[in-house]
Amino acid sequence: MIIRPFENDDRQTVIKLWRRCGLVVPWNDPEADIDRKLRVDPELFVVGIAGSRLVATAMGGYDGHRGSLYYLAVDAEQQGRGYGRKIADYIADLLEHRGCPKLNIMVRSSNTRMIDFYQRLGFKTDEVVCLGKRLIEDE
Ligand SMILES: CC(C)(COP(=O)(O)OP(=O)(O)OC[C@H]1O[C@@H](n2cnc3c(N)ncnc32)[C@H](O)[C@@H]1OP(=O)(O)O)[C@@H](O)C(=O)NCCC(=O)NCCS
């Protein structure tokens, strides 16, 4: 799998992949999420290409204190081939090169599969409560 930055032509393929992976929730508009990411550190939004097909995505971020990783997805028929680990490690390397000391990941507590996956990649559960306040309501 080759990893490269997201390009605008990838947009509909990426959104379809996110829908198939169950990553699109009613309170997040994927189009708006992509538009926002293209305005802030777009090079941290990457896709994985196997053959000629877009099969994976990951959206990283760094705020000067902590790094983040969202929208990690691998197409169902391409799972179990190391692509999830590869694209997550790729984002971690980009963040480390920027001097980011720690990567935090938010996973819905009901998504036990994803929690197990990240633990396999060496992430530990932090004893913190994640608080959120919506500033912009998506359509
Ligand atoms: C979770 C997901 C990204 C894993 O991708 P993948 O390409 O199948 O994972 P990999 O093949 O790279 O697996 C990497 C390692 O994690 C392990 N692993 C994968 N899925 C696992 C799971 N559900 N539980 C425990 N370990 C898991 C693999 O055995 C492998 O271990 P190893 O490298 O030590 O041998 C993929 O299944 C997915 O896209 N799921 C749906 C999307 C989703 O829910 N995203 C959450 C957004 S917050």
> For ligand 1, atom 36, which residue shows the shortest CA distance?
74
For residues 119 and 129, what is the distance between their CA atoms, to the nearest angstrom? Answer: 18
pLDDT over threshold 80, residue 139: no
Res 12: pLDDT? 98
Res 136: pLDDT? 94
Does the residue 66 lie in any domain? yes
Q: How does residue 131 score in pLDDT terms, banded at 50, 70 and 90?
A: very high
Q: What is the mean pLDDT of residues 62-70?
A: 98
Question: Which of 79, 83, 123 to mutate to test ligand 1, by most ligand atoms within 8 A of the CB atom?
Answer: 79
CATH number of the domain at 27, please: 3.40.630.30
Task: For residue 121, report the distance from its CA to the centre of ligand 1, in Å.
Answer: 9
Contact 67, 95 (CB under 8 A): yes
Range of the domain at 102: 2-120
> To 10 degrees, the CA torsion angle through 119, 121, 127, 130?
-100
* 13-55 residue pLDDT tens: 999 999 999 999 998 999 999 999 999 999 999 999 999 999 9
Structure tokens belonging to residue 20: 């198939």
Q: How many domains does the chain have?
A: 1
Does the residue 99 lie in any domain? yes
* 79-90 residue pLDDT tens: 999 999 999 999
> For ligand 1, atom 18, which residue shows the shortest CA distance?
117
For residues 78 and 55, what is the distance between their CA atoms, to the nearest angstrom? Answer: 7
Does the residue 103 lie in any domain? yes
Res 60: pLDDT? 98
Does the residue 129 lie in any domain? no
* 108-117 residue pLDDT tens: 999 999 999 9
The angle that helices 30-39 and 11-20 make with each other, rounded to 10 degrees, is 130
Does the residue 126 lie in any domain? no
Does the residue 134 lie in any domain? no
Res 31: pLDDT? 97
pLDDT over threshold 90, residue 8: yes
